[in-house]
Amino acid sequence: MKKYIYSIVITAFMITLSVSCKKSFLDQVPSDYINENEVFGNINNAELFVNNFYTYIGSWNYGTGDSYVTSAMTDESKQRWSNGAVLFNTGSWNPSNFSPLSLDWTNAYEKIRAINTFLANYSLVPEDPNDPSKKTRLKGEALMLRAYYHFILYRGWGKIPLMIAPLAPATDGDAVFLERSDLTTVTATISKDLDEAMTLLPEKHSNNAYWGRATKTICMAIKSRLNLYYASTLSNSNNDLARWQNASTLSKQALDMALANGYTLLPKYADVFLTYANTEIIWGRNIGTGGGSGIDQVMQPLGYSGWSNSGPIQDLVDDYEMKTGVAIKAAGSGWDPKHPYKDRDPRFYATILHPGAKWKNRTINIYGNDKDNAAEPGTNYWWKKYMTEGLTLSNNTGGSNKSFSLIRLAELYLNYAEAQNEAIGPDANVYGAINAIRSRAGMPVIPAGLSQTQMRDVIRHERRIELVFEGHRFWDVRRWKIAEVVDNKPVFGVNYTIAGTTDTTFTYFQSQNRVFSASKHYLMPVPQSEIDKLVGKNSGFTQTPGW
């Protein structure tokens, strides 16, 4: 018996060991998990949390309401690939499928939730002893961005559920079932956030490291744009002039504030899109050099190692006036069908690459390397706005950072001109604003004595030319309710045949036929998946009319 004592001891020891540990073996505290206190209890971390609010503010790229794809969904350009834009072009978009714009719905609300989470935890954020304005600035940024994201939703859907608290089914029960607020409430709520943000933010940051962050001037500019939309036909079917007046006042204030803070129109139009953080940009963001899947790579012809993804359409090309300020189709314009790109608005040459244009030390040749794949024909025009000539795409060298402007000074002139013309008529302020834009572009001033209607056309035309590819047109033609005309017809591209040595014949081929239904296409449908989640639970929530 003695002989086995040792094994009894061992066994007993092991059993005791295994069952008698005080701290449970499974009690692992994942120490790299971070809670609210850690994020918001430290103002530097809180700032990092705020930084991510900016990621969906929009850009040039493919995705959401970005300028590349919205440009291809309206009368600016045509996307070569058969996704996204094509759905809109053919009018076959529907609540189950209208990507990429359906993403605006989820993306904007995602950011609004993050902002609401920040605001709900704002009391945890300590003051920064070295920067007393930091805490309030963060709140100002949060409020401005909540307003901006709500504006993005208003722009697409009109009536929207307003989210001003981080609601969750687990904690709020049926309170999560919201209705779509009416337009007045929507705009008032957005304005309220902007107004509060303005009390917390400087008009312009003196610290260069803050370029791109929210300012009071940006708030004013957003307010100007918001009220312009609110006064436009789509939201203002009865043409309530008070709204125009309000828009005009706010636009003027925004313009004045921008000018007072040193924002200027750059002398050279093309530089606005190539010089990083230039003085014309009120709110902008970095878009890199354009190489390595950047904007240059996406837009340039195949022969330059680009992807030729989006071709400007003939209609846009034709809308550029002669450099004399006369439309090409007007009598005596001097436009030569055999040399159609000669003597045009200087902005044309800064905006569009056309066959025969000199680009990167050679001529663009649609019978050579620059030809698009036959499977995905383009228009034989390419974007030049934002393009850096010195950038070599095959090895991504020679580029430098560029900024995409979400709001630039020129827009404020155009906003003001439009609102003032609608509210008062074509007074000197209107002329002044429009001519400021044209003079910088190197174009003659507009003739005096235009009627309000004529002036309206001029302003709309000027806006189309000046702000092309910047993500405005798609929404402008909707708020003006002219999409049923401009986006409801064939679009064309160009070809030419070389006959002899000098004579060139240009032919225009139909690249696409576009369909727009006035009865429903002006506003986005709420994604079907969202409707499905609410059916039977939230009877007050309805689909956008027409869908």
Partner 1 sequence: MKFNNFKLYGYSYAKSKILLTMKLTAIFLFTFLTSVGATSFGQRITLTEKNTTLEKALTAIGDQSGYDVLYNSAKIKKARVFNINLRDVTLQEALSKCFIDQPFSYSIETNSIVVRDKGSSTISANSANIDIRGKVIDETSMGLPGATVKVKGTSIAVVTDDDGKFAIKNVSEDAVLQVSFVSYVTQEVKLNGKSDLLIQLIAESGSLEEVVVSAYGQTQKKASVTAAISTITSKELKQSPVANLSNALAGRLPGLTSIQASGVPGGDASTIYIRGIGTYGANRSPLIVIDGLPRGDANFGDIDVNEIASISILKDAAATSLYGIQGANGVILVTTRRGNVGKTNISFNANYGLQTPQRIPEKFSSVQQATVDNMGAKNDGLAPVWTAKEVELFGSQQDPYTYPDVNWYKEIFEKYTPQQQYNANISGGNENVKYFVSLGYLNQGTLFKDANENKYDVKQKYDRYNFRSNIDIKATEMLNIRVDLASRLENRTGPGPGYASVFSYVNRIPNYTTPVYNPNGTYGAGRITANDIRNPLGALKESGYYDNYFNSTNGTIEASHRLDFITKGLSAKALYSFENYAESNYAQNQQFDAFRYRKDPITGVETYTSFSQISSLTRTYATTSTRYFTYNVQLNYNRDFGKNNITGLLLFNRNYNSRSNALPSVYEGYVGRLAYNYDAKYFAEFNIGYNGSENFPKGNRFGVFPAVSAGWLISAEPWYNAKTVSLLKLRGSFGYVGNDKFTNDVNSVVDRWLFISDYARSGGFDFGTTPTNPGGYISSRIGNPNITWERAQKMNIGLEAGFFKDQVRLEFDLFRDDRTNILSAPLTIPSYLGITNPPKINIGRVINKGFETSLNFKTKLNEVNLFGYVNWTYNKNKIIERDEPNLAYPYQSLTNLPVGYQLGYNAIGLFNNQAEIDAAPRQTFAGAVKPGDIRYTDMNNDGIINENDRVALQNNNFPSNVFGVSMGASFRGFDFSVLFQGTLGGKTYVPYLGPNRLGDIWTPETAATATYPLVHYSLAGGLNNSQINSFFIYSSDYLKLKNVEIGYNLSQSLLRKMKINNLRVFFSGLNLLTWDKLPYEDFDPEQTANGTALYPTQKIYNVGLSMSF
* CA quadruple 416, 419, 423, 427: dihedral, nearest 10: 40
Instruction: Name which of residues 513 to 532 contact partner 1 (CB under 8 A).
Output: 527-532
Instruction: Name which of residues 272 to 331 contact partner 1 (CB under 8 A).
Output: 276-277, 285-286, 302-303, 305
Query: What is the rounded distance in angstroms from the CA atom of residue 475 to the CA atom of residue 481?
Result: 10
**Interhelix angle for 216-231 vs 134-157, to 10°?**
20
- Closest contact distance (angstroms) between CB of 87 and partner 1 is 8
Read off the amino acid at residue 462.
E
The CA distances from residue 275 to 224, 403, 430, in Å, are: 25, 7, 29
- Closest contact distance (angstroms) between CB of 493 and partner 1 is 13
Instruction: Name which of residues 64 to 83 contact partner 1 (CB under 8 A).
Output: 81-82
Closer by beta carbon to partner 1, 33 or else 361: 33
- Closest contact distance (angstroms) between CB of 305 and partner 1 is 8
Instruction: Name which of residues 106 to 125 contact partner 1 (CB under 8 A).
Output: 106, 109-114, 116-117
Instruction: Name which of residues 185 to 224 contact partner 1 (CB under 8 A).
Output: 208-213
The CA distances from residue 146 to 50, 268, 489, in Å, are: 11, 34, 37
Let me know how long the chain is: 547
Asked if 35 touches partner 1 (CB under 8 A), the answer is yes
Two tokens, residue 126: 């300590």
- Closest contact distance (angstroms) between CB of 437 and partner 1 is 25
Instruction: Name which of residues 365 to 384 contact partner 1 (CB under 8 A).
Output: 368-369, 371-377
Asked if 62 touches partner 1 (CB under 8 A), the answer is no
Query: In 3D, which of 411, 406, 151 has the Cα closest to residue 258?
Result: 411
Quick one: which segment of 3-11, 238-246, 433-441, 462-470 binds partner 1 (CB under 8 A)? 3-11
Instruction: Classify residue 543 by burial, with Cβ atoms within 10 Å: 0-12, 13-18, 19+.
Output: middle
Query: What is the rounded distance in angstroms from the CA atom of residue 381 to the CA atom of residue 508?
Result: 12
Instruction: Name which of residues 400 to 439 contact partner 1 (CB under 8 A).
Output: 401
- Closest contact distance (angstroms) between CB of 165 and partner 1 is 10
Closer by beta carbon to partner 1, 456 or else 514: 514
Asked whether the bond before 100 is cis by omega within 30 degrees of 0, the reply is yes
Two tokens, residue 513: 């036929």
- Closest contact distance (angstroms) between CB of 461 and partner 1 is 30
Closer by beta carbon to partner 1, 134 or else 481: 134
Quick one: which segment of 26-34, 240-248, 346-354, 473-481 binds partner 1 (CB under 8 A)? 26-34
Asked if 505 touches partner 1 (CB under 8 A), the answer is no
Query: Which H helix or E strand runs over 221?
Result: helix 216-231
Query: What is the rounded distance in angstroms from the CA atom of residue 448 to the CA atom of residue 300?
Result: 40
Read off the amino acid at residue 8.
I
Instruction: Name which of residues 131 to 170 contact partner 1 (CB under 8 A).
Output: 160-161, 163, 166-170
- Closest contact distance (angstroms) between CB of 138 and partner 1 is 12
- Closest contact distance (angstroms) between CB of 180 and partner 1 is 10
Quick one: which segment of 5-13, 225-233, 436-444, 456-464 binds partner 1 (CB under 8 A)? 5-13
Query: In 3D, which of 282, 278, 283 has the Cα closest to residue 267?
Result: 278
| Distant-in-sequence, close-in-space partners of 546: CB < 8 Å, separation ≥ 6 | 517, 519, 520, 521, 523
Query: Which H helix or E strand runs over 105?
Result: helix 102-120
Q: Which residue in 43, 69, 73, 87 binds partner 1 (CB under 8 A)?
A: 87
Asked if 174 touches partner 1 (CB under 8 A), the answer is no
Asked if 497 touches partner 1 (CB under 8 A), the answer is no
